[in-house]
């Protein structure tokens, strides 16, 4: 974001959303619902997915490079639509660009803790988020009097990326992770990764109404509205905002999966550009 640009000029610029892959589309959908006139740039770093198995320093570097990519294309604000990247990189990115509106996210532990009637909740997370001090801090602040069961099974992010959210193999992973929580009395499950809302149909078959499924999509969208309003950056155009997608993964697979998740009938109509991972994620000097 150019410091010399006025809010009137910036209003017409797009919002940038980045994620380790297609999971952030669950956030994008909610942002488009609440901000239908905003143009959006969405970067799916599927070529480097999953982030959750990487060390924090590497995740930070990937998030920074993705942010630079979006800012070079005119983004007026950034949404880090990834719990793992938010945990590792949001504080660093805000320090690097202090005048740039940046929205991050944390797992929705607080609403789950307020909602539980049994005193036990579950958190379904990636490996990195499950071990992150930020998650432990959120639990300590908002769920200190609640029994919190954390599961970080491998393979779920990859399943969503491959368009296999509804496969028997994915259902088996979910069942193994969630059934012990149900046995321990958990009545709320925090979906601690933006890929996981796309697993709702499979999860609902397992929990059968015994658990509330909670994600951060609506809260992140509300915060995005707030930061744009605070900066006088809301796009006031009358037309529907345009979505432009970029991927560092397989472009044909990404096109099919993104169209499927966004319920776009014809994948060919999706505005999607492939960006080679070695170009977009080389460290900026």
Residue 14 scores a pLDDT above 60:
yes
What pLDDT score was predicted for residue 2? Answer: 53
Catalytic hit among 82, 124, 157, 207 = 82
| pLDDT, tens only, 201-236 | 999 999 999 999 999 999 999 999 999 999 999 998
What pLDDT score was predicted for residue 236? Answer: 87
**How many Å apart are CA 124 and CA 139, to the nearest integer?**
14
Catalytic hit among 41, 71, 190, 193 = 193
Q: Are strands 243-247 and 102-103 parallel, antiparallel or unpaired?
A: unpaired
Structure tokens at 208: 């059968």
Q: Is 193 a catalytic residue?
A: yes
Does residue 188 sit in helix, strand or coil? strand
Q: Is 82 a catalytic residue?
A: yes
What pLDDT score was predicted for residue 285? Answer: 30
| pLDDT, tens only, 86-127 | 999 999 999 999 999 999 999 999 999 999 999 999 999 998
Residues in the chain: 285
Q: Cα–Cα distances in Å, from 257 out to 41, 51, 269? A: 17, 19, 13
What does the DSSP 8-state code read for residue 21?
S
Residue 132 scores a pLDDT above 90:
no
Q: Domains for the chain: give ranges and CATH numbers.
A: 7-105+218-280 (3.40.50.1860), 109-215 (3.40.50.1860)
């Amino acid at each position: 974001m150019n410091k010399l640009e006025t809010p009137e000029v910036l209003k017409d610029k797009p919002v940038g959303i980045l994620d380790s892959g297609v999971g952030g589309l669950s956030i994008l959908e909610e942002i488009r619902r609440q901000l239908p006139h905003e143009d959006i740039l969405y970067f799916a770093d599927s070529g480097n997915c999953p982030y959750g198995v990487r060390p924090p320093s590497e995740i930070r570097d990937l998030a920074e490079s993705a942010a630079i990519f979006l800012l070079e294309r005119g983004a007026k604000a950034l949404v880090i639509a990834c719990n793992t990247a938010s945990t590792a990189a949001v504080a660093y990115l805000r320090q690097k660009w202090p005048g740039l509106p940046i929205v991050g996210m944390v797992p929705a532990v607080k609403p789950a803790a307020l909602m539980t009637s049994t005193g036990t909740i579950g958190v379904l997370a990636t490996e990195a988020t499950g071990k992150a001090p930020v998650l432990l801090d959120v639990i300590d602040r908002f769920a200190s009097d609640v029994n919190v069961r954390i599961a970080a099974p491998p393979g779920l992010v990859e399943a969503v990326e491959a368009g296999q959210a509804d496969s028997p193999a994915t259902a088996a992973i979910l069942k193994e992770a969630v059934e012990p929580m149900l046995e321990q009395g958990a009545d709320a499950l925090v979906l601690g990764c933006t890929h996981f809302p796309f697993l709702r149909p499979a999860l609902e078959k397992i929990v059968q109404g015994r658990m509330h499924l909670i994600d951060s999509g609506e809260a992140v969208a509300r915060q995005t509205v707030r930061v744009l309003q605070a900066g006088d950056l809301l796009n006031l155009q009358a037309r529907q905002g345009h979505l432009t997608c970029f991927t560092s993964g397989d472009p044909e697979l990404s096109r099919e999966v993104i169209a499927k998740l966004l319920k776009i009938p014809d994948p060919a109509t999706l505005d999607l550009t492939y960006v080679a991972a070695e170009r977009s994620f080389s460290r900026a000097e």
